[in-house]
Amino acid sequence: MNAQSGFAGPPKVKERLVVIGNGMAGCRAVEEILERDPGRYAVTIFGAEPRVNYNRIMLSPVLAGEKTFDEIVINGQDWYDDNGITLVGGDPVAGIDRKTRTIVSASGRVEPYDKLLIATGSDPFIIPIPGNDLPGVVTFRDLDDVDKMLAAAETGGDAVVIGGGLLGLEAAHGLSLRGMKVTVVHLMPTLMERQLDEAAGWLLRQELESRGQTILTGANTGVIHAVEGRVAGIELEDGTRVKADIVVMAAGIKPSTTLARQAGLDCERGIMVDDHMVTSDPDILAVGECVQHRGLCYGLVAPLWDMCRALADHLTDAPSGYEGSVTSTKLKVSGIDLFSAGDFSGGDECEDIVMRDAARGVYKRLVLKDDRIIGAVLYGDTADGNWYFDLLRKEEDVSDIREGLIFGQAFASGGALADPNAAVAALSDDAEICGCNGVSKGKVVQCITKGAHSLDAVRSTCKASASCGSCTGLVESLLSLTLGGEVETGPSTMCKCTSFTHDDVRRLIVEKGLREIPEVMQELHWTTPDGCSSCRPALNYYLLCAWPGQYVDDQKSRFVNERMHANIQKDGTYSVVPRMWGGLTNPRELRAIADVVEKYDAPMVKVTGGQRLDIFGIKKEDLPAVWADLNAAGMVSGHAYGKALRTVKTCVGSEWCRFGTQDSTGLGVKIEHMTWGSWMPHKFKIAVSGCPRNCAEATIKDFGIVCVDSGYELHIGGNGGIKVRATDFLCKVETEAQAMEHCAAFIQLYREDAHYLERTAPWLERKGLDWIKAQLFDDPETIGRLAARFRFSQQFSQDDPWAQRAAGDRKDLHSHLAQVRPLSMENA
């Protein structure tokens, strides 16, 4: 009978939708389909785990003991039952037959489909190292992994987490809260380097270390060791060993594409899908971490929801399309506020807006391009993260609120800021300006009216802005308001990234105990995220000088010539200058140089003004091999490229010359062994002349020694460059030992006081000869103290693999002199 006679027609046959994956993406896609057309599909879901759908991103709170499994369940069994969904749990799909449109599970169950949805997620990346399959090595992807970690934590002990990304840090946090001693080993120099810049990564590291975790960055795991068949620890490639009762592999994820590849679907990094989440087979769709869309794979949750909406629209005949996602990140570690979104790599066409509050541990950075936010990194205060993210996603023009943007939505939403000086003028006299030193507005104004007409004068008088520098803008506003156009400009700041001078930075590094470049930038409120080409090399040098043996030289903060251990030439090749101690050489060294010239087809070799041989035309890719060949002959870098000791020029002195008064060559070799490899504010040259005829040109060198009958005359501050400057006489000493001690002391005074890229000549003129003499001679013990500090720092001068010390080293000068000066051993 038909409908008009009161009888219903045959029931509508539902299409069979089979979902491979009972995780967040697969079940969310089903939810979206049910919302649009609940009666269209008969749904069967296969899951590898014997559980209902749960929130995988909340595994971290479960590990930390902040939540239970029941609290992270998304869809309980009642959801499957109420919607007529067949759940096949604990029976993963083993294969797809596209011809018969069926799947087969690990247990042998065959299930036909009309539409197939692959939502297999991602697989953990297992580092291919010995021991990666030992008992006690786990990943962090599902509840079974959490159970293994919880079991290990019951007895305490040591845990190593390999990977300092989101998952790794969340695993480390949970294990730490469970009572384990945790070490995080991360290959890159910055934690969460995909989400954080160097500054935010440093703050995160400091916080985690304050909680008792050990963080090893720039560390590559070489092997996992075992005792009695179970994991016992790891060994890094540099030989460092770390004890471990459990090792968590959290070094990354990769799209799970095995089933799709076996079925012949198009795959690259992930399963390739179009804007409707359809694979290369029109009856098979894919969604989530396993897919690749427009060349991108996503490992965060937000894009998955966008994908599921587009997929559901397509399967219910209302196609919309997925165009990709802009992602944001938050770390799920209690007490740490961290937010990251978009592209923060920056570049020439981008502008950085940075705010730092060292006292509160806050760092905010916005990256703008064409008056639009393209990236944001927030640490310590993430309240405005969603607002910034919304502006980023919508590509809103922020030019009208540019001045107040970094201060957040409440401050900037009213439109462009008024004159910032007006806000300062409205403050009461007892309003605090400088929190570090407890200085009020009234006190600053009083200081200014009594004659402190520059920022530097205010700092030295009432201490406002003299510590962390965060109130510098307020003090400058008060200067402007109080003096109008009469503000005096003090010494130029270090660079555009800071309001501090070189002297300020050097002083505060020591006073505050700052030991890393990101720490300096945070504490001193740098206005850029990572500094610039002017301040980074300077900070690197100042830290090396302040903390010898403790600070690790940051190679990326060095100029290219220093990184390459060679001088780049205008044709793109390099020149290499091996060291010749005091200008001396021997047959072995000359043969080594000749062999390098022939082997690497160097077009020119030139004798330099510093009594060395310069090999020109070396290709960049050949530099390591060139230095290896020279090292094999006992030759080391001449630092002709470096802000360091360049040469010690000598004449033949009393050994050969009839006018010579002292052994200038022997003394020059000793001084070069004492001083080489020491980083300086600028290039540094020494000369030792054997008599007043001055053949070694000692009186136009940074430190010159002129030998006379009664001893040694010491000269300082010479320069033979564009602006020639003759030296100033420092003093006269009687012995070689005294000459060397005074040389070391002068160098150390220069190293500790001069600005980076300031030669001794302008430094001497800026400070004055009387000041330098006072520093060296007013206290009879100063020379010894400065020389001792110099010798101490020389113990840690870097042994770069391209420029190793000679076999004898400076600790065994005699052995090397035996090679280069066989006739002068009695002088060594």
Classify residue 284 as left (phi > 0), alpha (psi -120 to 50) or beta: beta
657 is in an annotated binding site: yes
Tell me if 237 sits within 8 A of 405, measured CB to CB: no
Measured CA to CA in angstroms, residue 814 lies from 63, 821, 827 at distances of 62, 10, 10
Angle (CA) 810 814 819, round 5°: 100
Q: Is 497 annotated as belonging to a binding site?
A: no
Structure tokens at 537: 């090399």
- Name the β-bridge partners of 118: 20, 286
313 neighbors 36 (Cβ within 8 angstroms): yes
Report how far apart, in Å, the C-alpha atoms of 437 and of each of 29, 444, 473, 683 are: 58, 12, 16, 38
Q: Strand order in 351-357's β-sheet?
A: 328-330, 338-342, 372-379, 362-369, 351-357
Shortest CA distance to 668 belongs to which of 683, 684, 648?
648
Distance between CA 142 and CA 611 in Å, rounded? 67
**What is 364-380 written as a DSSP string?**
EEEEEETTEEEEEEEES
CA distances from 151 to 519, 745, 777 (A): 38, 60, 67
How far apart, in whole angstroms, are the C-alpha atoms of residue 233 and residue 649?
Answer: 52
Q: Quote the CA–CA distance of 10 and 26 in Å, as a whole number.
A: 31
Tokens at 782, concatenated: 């100063």
Closest by Cα among 116, 134, 122 to 247: 134
State yes or no: 350 annotated in a binding site: no
Residue that the structure tokens 């500094």 belong to: 531
One DSSP character per residue, 525-576 reads T-SSSS--TTHHHHHHHHHHHHSTTTSPP-GGGS-HHHHHTSEE-TTS-EEE
CB 129 within 8 A of CB 137: no
Instruction: Report the C-alpha gap between 529 and 525 in whole angstroms.
Output: 10
* Total residues found in the chain within this entry: 828
Which is nearest to 287 in space by CA: 266, 268, 311? 311
Contact, 318 vs 312, CB < 8 A?
no
397 secondary structure, DSSP code: B
Instruction: Consult the annotation and say whether 691 binds a ligand.
Output: yes
Q: Measuring CA to CA, how many Å separate 570 from each of 156, 409, 603, 646?
A: 61, 50, 14, 21
CB of 375 closer than 8 Å to CB of 359: no
DSSP 3-state of 163:
coil
Q: Which of 577, 559, 545 is nearest to 755 (CA)?
A: 545
Find all residues with CB under 8 Å of 563, minimum gap 6, and list them.
555, 556
**What is the token pair recorded at 650?**
């000598």
Strand-pairing partners, residue 278, are 285
Phi (first) and psi of residue 94, to 5 degrees: -105, -20
Select from 96, 92, 102 the least CA-distant residue to 264. 96
What phi and psi values does residue 292 have, to the nearest 5 degrees? -125, 120
Structure tokens at 638: 């001449």
**For 780, which DSSP code?**
T
Which residues are annotated as part of the binding site?
A: 651, 657, 691, 695
Known binding residues for [4Fe-4S] cluster are 651, 657, 691, 695
Which residues belong to the annotated binding site for siroheme?
A: 695
